[in-house]
Amino acid sequence: MPVIEVSDAVYRKFKAFMKVVDAVMGEEVGDETIYADFVLSMGIDKLLQDPLPDDPILRSTMVSMFKKNPEFVAEFIAETLKEGQMGIEKQIEMWKRYIS
């Protein structure tokens, strides 16, 4: 299994967030690996939707397509953003606070 290193601050938030997941699910989900898979999967699905136009059907379609072929869909969105067909400036501002 691949190992991903995160900062101490992110790990602290992740550990605290496990309680939120348990509360929503109504039970303890499992070990840290299960929580990490869940948080990363949900986070990726949500982040995938950020650069898409505000169309619920398009967003749900792209998420479904991403689950079947993540490489193709990610490449398509990245290329479309680079070509300027979507609002990349908006994404830069939204995501900058997490990367800086």
Residue 86 has pLDDT above 60, yes or no: no
**What DSSP assignment string belongs to the chain?**
-------HHHHHHHHHHHHHHHHHHTS---SHHHHHHHHHHHHHHHHHHTTS-S-HHHHHHHHHHHHH-HHHHHHHHHHHHHTTSS-HHHHHHHHHHHH-
Confidence of residue 51 (pLDDT cuts 50, 70, 90): confident
- pLDDT score recorded for residue 75: 94
- pLDDT score recorded for residue 39: 94
Confidence of residue 90 (pLDDT cuts 50, 70, 90): low
Q: Is there a contact between 21 and 46 (Cβ–Cβ < 8 Å)?
A: no
Q: What CA–CA distances, in Å, run from 41 to 46, 51, 85, 88?
A: 9, 17, 26, 23
Any idea which residue has 């979507």 for tokens?
A: 86
Please write the tens of the pLDDT for every residue from 19-45.
999 999 999 988 999 999 999 999 999
pTM as predicted: 0.72
Confidence of residue 88 (pLDDT cuts 50, 70, 90): low
- pLDDT score recorded for residue 82: 80
